[in-house]
Structure 1
């Protein structure tokens, strides 16, 4: 009985080897990896993705509107003037009448709010691409409890690869010492799967998207 069973198994193996299974279809490496964006308008798609990962999105059609949005945010969150170290941002905020802290006085003890620029905005993931090449350095996007970002619609790209091309075109071989993709506020659930915000960076992330023709001032 054992011998006949063995012969039957070997017979099935020989039969299978004589008729090997067809090869799987060759993948199309030119086809897009991701499905189309949720909205054909990349700016709208970014806003949707950004809010989905926990960010707060504010559209600003003018500097006056920006001032209103920032003041409203500060009132709701009960925070003071943001630390702003980038000269172009300082000039823009000064024109808009928005108070800010231009130096590092009391930064360690009072850094509850910061405002920086960014390199690009990724519609696919709702991520903000930030580099340490600006006067904000590394600290303003990491240390304060709440981080505000000021950007323009022209900075929105569809995919991460396009954002990385923006960085490459700007810096070339002299890459910034730090480049980070920030997707929502800092969070972790490492301990007992309990979600904690602000574990490794800002507890709250808000983006103010200022229209291109708003006073035509660069960021």
Structure 2
């Protein structure tokens, strides 16, 4: 049973944002905890907002909650993946050549547990660099995409694409503005990121 099912219980209970107090163990990225628990802890530590969804109906509801919370209804979004267009169309979000996108909607290649980071490729971000993306990101991923580290993420990409191998493989690590700039954040572009994590295991 995944950590997410342990926390959220059966599908009769509604999904909710993970409380940081649920992960108050002092373990670090080098611990031997399960990768799902390790990812969740490190992702939250990096400032990410995390919403667990048991099915597509819950995912659609949580997406609407995000739009309402940020007043993004009938706004513009940057999205390059046709499989996600329906979600935008259902909520009257314009995505064709946006001039001032309020947020970036995407999937990802992998969720990296030891860093709590997100691995993207040209399939999600084309040739954009992370600092060229909107400051707000809504990410849709599944529990099966959680891997231990970047090396495992790269291996998954090699297995997934036998042809048309993607380029521009990069990770985004920081999901809130640092109070004081330090060398750990140097060259990083902090993004406000919502992760809608769909259970598929």
Contact 2:140/2:197 (<8 A) preserved: yes
Equivalent runs, 1:31-110 vs 2, <5 Å: 34-37=30-33, 40=34, 42-80=35-73, 81=75, 82-91=77-86, 93=87, 97-106=90-99, 110=100
The match for 2:192 is 204
Structure with greater Cα Rg:
1
Secondary structure of the corresponding residue to residue 133 of structure 1: helix
Q: How many aligned positions are there? A: 169
**2:108 aligned with 1:118:** yes
8 Å contact from structure 2 (residues 105, 138) kept in 1: yes
Distance of 1:84 and 1:140 partners within structure 2: 14
Stretches of 4+ aligned residues off by more than 6 angstroms:
none
* Contact map agreement 1:57 1:207 (CA 8 A) in 2: yes
Instruction: In structure 1, list runs of 5 or more residues that go unmatched.
Output: 1-32, 214-219
When the two structures are superposed, what TM-score results if normalisation uses the length of structure 1? 0.63
Contact 2:47 2:176 (8 Å CA) reproduced: no
Q: Retained in 1: the 8 A contact 2:46–2:176?
A: no
Structure 2 residue ranges without an equivalent (≥5): 1-28
Q: What is the alpha-carbon distance in structure 2 between the residues aligned to residue 34 and residue 164 of structure 1? A: 19
Q: Offset of 1:189 from its aligned partner?
A: 7.0
| Distance in 2 (alpha carbons) for counterparts of 1:189 and 1:202 | 11
Cα separation, 1, equivalents of 2:179 and 2:151: 28
Distance in 2 separating the partners of 1:47 and 1:99: 31
